[in-house]
Structure 1
Amino acid sequence: MNAVNDSFLPAADHGVLRLITAGSVDDGKSTLIGRLLYDSKGVFADQLDAISRAKYKRVAGDGIDFALLTDGLEAEREQGITIDVAYRYFSTPLRKFIVADAPGHEQYTRNMVTGASTADAAIILIDATRVTDGQLLTQTKRHSTIAHLLGIRHIVVAVNKMDLIGWDQTVFERIRAAYADLAARLQIEQYHVMPISALEGDNVVNRSAHTPWYDGPPLLMLLEQLGVDAAPVEQPLRFPVQWVLRHGGARVDDFRGYAGRIASGELRPGDEVVVQPSGVTARVKSVLSFDREVDVAVAGDSVTVVLDRDVDVSRGDVLSHVAAPARVGRDFEAEVCWLDAQALNPARKYLLKQGTRLTSAKVREVLTRRDIHELQEVPSGGESLSMNDIGRITFSTREALAVDAYADLPATGAFILIDAATHQTAAAGMLR
């Protein structure tokens, strides 16, 4: 007798999907994640018992306050808001999920940027009761802008709390039209809009009887089917060197290897590579993984590379194939989200961290700032960038960097600025 019910076996494993919820305050982001965890059986009985007895519970009667499953900080439960990014894990027969619950308050926009930087998909929640005359809230616009800038391919717009407006299709269509206009202005090509009730579970895991006019899939089904970019094996080789390994220096056959994680492309013994930014070339003698040699290493693999001759390679250098090198330079233009409470000041000293390279940087000019209301870049007019502002800057670095455009290779196109005096992370940036 077969003990396995084949109907429960997935036809294919769709891999891991990293997603983030975004939107304005009280749009129901934490509640939605809690509902997904609960309906996918990702919550233990003792967790349910704990939140049912929590003193900050905001649901009447025996109902479950799903937001408490992600709002774990005392200050979050006390105030009823999300402050920091909370990561949760759940799975279905088809896919594993890592979900980030991002805060909606404007002052925590920098937290949202952190959570969105590694996401494959973004769920933008909209409170149907708060959209008047089709005017979307500012944070909806800001978070959509950030998701687009970070290159998140899949955007799902969940129009929440539809139960509070009697599942009015007219209101939903008005909101869908408003977001379509927003998407066109931001040049977001692909998105999906759906009506849901996170608290009641309508259209979250199962289709709702309240929306016969909605012919799309429920949220979880949609998330299970979204395509995820495979490891960037087909892209040019980028191997940021993290550590130089050396032993047996007194011997003629001493060992010298360069350890790191391949950011993109693939590497094989015999490949001709260039050390950037120096431009010195060499050939790969061997590729080591732990204690053995491998014939090929691909993006995501942590390996040690041995070259056929001794060349000057240090932490922060990048190995690229000679046929497809990165761009090397000291002067750059980039889009940044300012994270520090202290505004950008070109007179201050900043450190730039890009890949494994750390060097000093000087901001030359603030070119533009993004007007979140008008959804366009406007000249800075000499103004600086304050916390949570998004703008375009030019800067120079002391040492040359090997870089790519963020849209092409995020691993070598992203960076952070650090205030050299306070050691605060000042900005997250994307090279253009």
Structure 2
Amino acid sequence: DYIGKSRPQVLFYERDKEELFDKEPATRSRKKELDAKLVALDERFALKKEKLQVQKKGADEHLDRIGKELHLLEDGLNKVEMFRKDETFCPPSVIEIGEKPTRKNCDVIVEELKSLIVSTIRKTEEFKKAVTQFNGNFSSKNTFHFRTELVGEQDYYDFASNLCEFVDNDKISDYQKHISERYTDIIRRISQEVGGLTRNESEIHRTIKDINDDFVKRNFAGVIKEIALRPLQSSDKLMQLLLEIKRFSDENQYNMGKVDLFSQDSREDVNAVAVRHLLSFMKFLLDEPGRRRLALADTFKLEFRVKENDNDTGWVEKIANVGSDGTDILVKAMVNIMLINVFKEKASRKFGDFKIHCMMDEIGKLHPNNVKGILDFANCRNILLVNSSPTTYNVEDYRYTYLLSKDGRSNTQVVPLLTYNKIEK
């Protein structure tokens, strides 16, 4: 039964197998086509996948770049905020400035601002230093009316602006013309003042000659054999400069300043020399600010020559070291007495002869013989000496002798001691 039952199934299987074998070529062909399609699909998939991976990579890179830019922007904004809060560094003007389109990052802009601010501060300090150095050449009362006291930063800018205007408009030429007229007046004024000082030069020489003649006429009977005086040109530098200015003014009085009918071709050279003289005069006054006046004694130098026994001092500027201290005082007293006598005789020609009293100090340093000699030296010229001394001298040398003392209330008491009248034979 089993064999009988199963055989049809085998037959059927074989019949199906025969049908399948009949379809094998078509199936193989179909499979080949499908394999080809699968390969094509795999290639298309690979290409699509590669393209999408490239796109994804680009998108990831773009996203990463945007993230970095966002981070830079956030970091830059933080730096901007920190910069704006820095009151010691960020100027208020930067905060007030509005927005300005730019492609630069905030941190780059902040660094550029910092660099610009530091550079501006450095250049501003250099500018102020240059202005101060230039401004130091002028006094508060300068001719150009430049402001010398600069406090705030704006003062320095205003000074530079005014200086640029001064140069651009060539105002220096106007000042040169104005000053060329003024320095002529200054030169002439100096010449006039110096002329007033030296106008009595001949009288001084005549007075010195009268003093010398007076000693020869009425000599001193004692150790002093000769006293002579002589005037010389002043050694004072200021006086020498003023005399040079006066000579220059006298020689070029018609050839300074503006052109006129008397001007010569060398006027510009003369003006240059005049300016140099005034600059030298100004420099001298600046070097010696304490000197406010020029005395008559500065206009000439006086020298003395004294012979004391066999000692000859030669020509010296000061009466010193003639001998002892007493001798020096004696010589000085004699010179003063002769000087008083010269002026006394001039007055006597107008009012008649008269006597004059003269105080003499330090009489105690003189030798007793010289005391009598100086009294006779003065009395023969009708000059009566009044002097005091802690030492008692020969009472016959004086006409009146007094004693001066202090009482309990520090009042000076004058007590006449002796009156000596010499009997003429």
TM-score using structure 2 length: 0.18
Q: Which has the higher strand share?
A: 1
Which has a greater percent of helix? 2
Structure with larger RCO (C-alpha < 8 A, sep 6+): 1
Q: TM-score, normalised on structure 1?
A: 0.18
